Amino acid sequence: MIKKPNSPNNSALDKVDGTGGFVRGPNRLSYNENRVMTAWESFLTGGGEQDYAHVRSLVKDSWIRCKTHGVDAHGVGATLRNDADYLHRLHEENCDLMIAAADSLAMLNHLLDSTSAMIILTDRDGVILESFGDSRTVEAGRDIHLEVGGGWNEDSAGTNGIGTALRTGKPVLIHAAEHYCEGVKAWTCAAAPIFDPFDGNVVGVVDLSGPTEIFQRHNMTVPVIAAHQIEQILHQRGTGERMQLMEACLNSAPTLSNEDGMVLLDRNGRVVCHRNAPKIDLDGKADRSMRTGDRLFSPKADMTETEIAASLSAKMKPQVIKPILVEGKVRGTVLVFEHKQRVRSTMVSTTRISTSALPSANLNQAVPPPLILGESKGIKRVIDMVGRVSAGRGSVLIEGETGVGKELFGRLFFSHAARRQDTPFVTVNCGAITKDLFGGELFGHVPGAFTGALREGKKGKFEQAHGGVLCLDEIGEMPLEVQPFLLRALEEKVVYRLGDSKPRLADVRLVALTNRDLLQEVEAGSFRKDLYYRISAIRIPVPALRERGEDIAMLLDHFNHAFAEELNSVPLLFTEPAMVALSRYAWPGNVRELRNLVERLHLTLSDGTVDVPDLLYSGIAVGETGTEGFGAQTKISADEVVDLAEIECLTIKKVIEDNNGNLTLAAKQMGIARSTLYRKIDLCGIKRVLTAVSD
């Protein structure tokens, strides 16, 4: 598979062999139709090297390849396959490329009208996916199968812009007699390969074609610029999808120990991130460490775990292969290589942790107070309240948005409330139990109580928590028909197993957690009023992270050092603009979002320094800023809100100024392409005077 050349001059049109040949200079000759045609005829009849010595080396090398592969030099065009099923599959397999190219092709289609030129997009094999442009040229292209479904790789269509660009991995211009096949010599074409921004492989080609009269040396700039634009969009879309994939992996991957190996693959079988991964021997090469972007297998539709395992290198033997869902669709795979001394862990549900994977009770084991970091008044008030109410007997309702850490406060409550070391603490995630199983989970069942019941019967969570604390997470998810039985158990302190009339003691202290407004649920009729007042004797609201802005730096430092230790790396360094952006971000996912962000940055950054662009690429949405609750040092008023886009622009301007206007050095310092920097300069409205000394 052709990869992007390592040469830094790949995008410089005047330095790439194959894009020139029409200007005078070292090893360059002006094009002469008659001489090239004579050279082609001599080449076909076995003439001497001197007969075509003046032909560009790029063209001559291609002719040799074509002759070696038996391409018909008198052919009239490409192969064509345009049946509906094939085209549907072709477009489906290349949908990402076609979406990324849509805007660029639409713009060029408008510009090329009445110019006798057409613009073409192909897949990695040179098969045409889209063609636009001057209607007469598009129609004439059908005579040589320059249309959707036409295959223009060198092996079938000879020397041509598309096929030769694929073969060399470089932008090329093939004009008139330089084509190998006789039926194409009335055309001129300039083509540029499109590279995958993550693994460097060619994923397609942009080609500008037309009759020989349209030839201009600068024709080459059109496909090159279009290819770069498509690559940028592929990178933006791919980065967003990878962030979603890592988020889904963090939420649904199998439980891991610090010694376990983990590899997250995208839907193309490429490594997104990895930890403690085994060495690999791709392409028959010696074993080496795994790298981000390595393609471990070529995926097919609806692959099973067995098929994925068979597609991996023989030396890779994962103990767990699990699909990762994003918005209900399989978008990746996680491989787990368990440590030899570790017993295989219980798999978790794709969407929520199953209650069967959680300990039913922490018997004969002290539960230490969880680590809750924060110096803000709000968080200190909650910690103090939990300590004080633990001495009573009433039920406690802990309220807060998703990700604020309600579970930690539930455990903190238990650490204060436990009277003995063997006091049980039982947790139930109400959102992870189906309606049919709710009764059996909470109250237990006798043998044969229902289809699928355990032969020996089962003790429910209430009985397991007798004498201790029962923590009901996501209590707002509890089915309405189960709520009366919960109310009865709390009031009578006894339960009845399903299928049994015998009462069993279940004296528990209830701690309920919710991210819903249960009073609104009561008004809507989805939560019982009497149960609400029974469980909310004591309400403890946990503040959102945006309301405790002075704690962000402390939490960031804690997670940063924790992941550095776990991954055996050094802590990340956050620039001042990045810290300002983080302090002003609204944090809709709260502490969990902050934790996940730090983990993503540890897994994806290569230089160890976090700046505003890194936050943007890591999924921190532009414009989600808060306007209160940041403390004295960071609090901002509504008319002073600065979003991440503005901060990024200020950062870019400062970096350019620090480099005295040299955009090459500025782009290198920021870790982005110079073309990307140009685009950001325009978006930010930075005066171009800063670019005067860009080279």
- pLDDT tens digits for range 151-185: 999 999 999 999 999 999 999 999 999 999 999 99
In a domain, 603, yes or no: yes
Task: From 519, 543, 567, give the residue that closes a domain.
Answer: 543
Rounded Cα distance, 288 and 281, in Å: 7
> 376 and 496 share a domain?
yes
Per-residue confidence (pLDDT) for residue 163, from 0 to 100: 96
User: Shortest CA distance to 490 belongs to which of 507, 467, 478, 503?
Assistant: 507
Query: At 139, is the pLDDT very low, low, confident or very high (cuts 50, 70, 90)?
Result: very high
Q: Under a CB-based contact definition with an 8 Å cutoff, are residues 548 and 376 in contact?
A: yes
Tell whether the model's pLDDT for residue 621 goes beyond 90.
Answer: no
Q: Indicate whether 362 and 279 sit together in one domain.
A: no
Residue 7 has pLDDT above 60, yes or no: no
Pairwise pLDDT comparison (13 vs 655), residue with the higher score = 655
Res 559: pLDDT: 92
Question: Quick one: pLDDT at residue 545?
Answer: 93
The pLDDT, as a whole number, for residue 127 is 97
Residue 119 has pLDDT above 80, yes or no: yes
- Whether residues 516 and 578 share a domain: the answer is no
Question: pLDDT higher for 240 or 626?
Answer: 240
Helix residue spans in 210-349 (DSSP H)? 221-252, 305-311
pLDDT at residue 459, rounded to an integer: 87
Of residues 285 and 6, more confidently modeled: 285
- Number of structural domains in the chain: 4
Q: Which of 33-37, 232-236, 455-459, 660-664 has the highest mean pLDDT?
A: 33-37
pTM comes to 0.48
HEC-encoded secondary structure of 436-470: HHHHHHHHEECCCCCCCCCCCCEECHHHHCCCCEE
With a cut of 70, say whether residue 237 has pLDDT above it. Answer: yes
Average pLDDT over residues 661-680: 72
pLDDT at 623 over 60: no
562 and 438 in one domain?
no
Given a contact cutoff of 8 angstroms between Cβ atoms, the answer to whether 171 and 245 are in contact is no
Whether 365 shows a pLDDT value over 50: the answer reads no
261 pLDDT band, cuts 50/70/90, is: confident
How far is 367 from 633, CA to CA, in rounded Å? Answer: 37
In the numeric block, which tokens belong to residue 204? Answer: 């397609």
| Structural domain includes residue 347 | no
Q: Which of 513, 543, 573 is the last residue of a domain?
A: 543
Return the pLDDT at 484.
92
Q: What per-residue confidence (pLDDT) applies to 30?
A: 58
Kindly state whether residue 1 falls inside one of the protein's structural domains: no
Whether residue 323 is found in the same domain as residue 415: no
pLDDT tens, 188-208? 999 999 998 877 889 999 999
Q: What is the pLDDT of residue 295?
A: 83
* Mean pLDDT score, 276-284: 73
Same structural domain, 379 and 480: yes
User: What CATH number does residue 95 fall under?
Assistant: 3.30.450.40
Across the chain, what does the average pLDDT equal? 79
Domain residues for 336? 253-342
Q: How far apart, in whole angstroms, are the C-alpha atoms of residue 572 and residue 574?
A: 6
Q: What CATH number did the domain enclosing 494 receive?
A: 3.40.50.300
Residue 581 within any structural domain of the chain: yes
In a domain, 245, yes or no: no
Identify how many contiguous H helices and E strands the chain contains and give both numbers. 24, 22
**Same domain for 336 and 311:** yes
Sign of the four-CA dihedral 112, 117, 118, 123: negative
Q: Say if residue 517 is in the same domain as residue 637.
A: no
Q: Is the pLDDT of residue 645 over 60?
A: no
Please check the confidence at residue 248 and state whether its pLDDT lies above 50: yes
Q: Are residues 503 and 584 in the same domain?
A: no
- Are residues 312 and 434 both part of a single domain? no
Residue 617 pLDDT: 64
What pLDDT, on the 0 to 100 scale, is given for residue 648?
A: 59
Q: Is 602 a domain residue?
A: yes
- C-alpha closest to that of 605 among 615, 591, 592, 593: 615
Q: Say what the pLDDT of residue 449 is.
A: 72
In a domain, 500, yes or no: yes
76 within a domain of the structure (yes/no):
yes
> In this predicted structure, which of 243-247, 473-477, 597-601, 650-654 has the lowest mean pLDDT?
650-654
Give pLDDT tens digits for 36-52.
Answer: 999 999 999 887 777 77
What are the pLDDT digits (tens) for 495-515?
988 888 888 998 999 999 999
Are both 444 and 564 inside the same structural domain? no
Last residue of a domain, one of 493, 509, 543: 543
Q: Torsion angle of alpha carbons 168, 172, 176, 182, nearest 10°?
A: 20
Tell me 572's DSSP state.
Answer: P
pLDDT at site 667:
73
Residues 278 and 387 in one domain: no
Q: Which of 587, 589, 591, 617 is nearest to 604 (CA)?
A: 617
Q: Which of 193, 164, 160 is nearest to 178 (CA)?
A: 160
How much is the pLDDT for 13?
A: 31
CATH number of the domain to which 588 belongs: 1.10.8.60
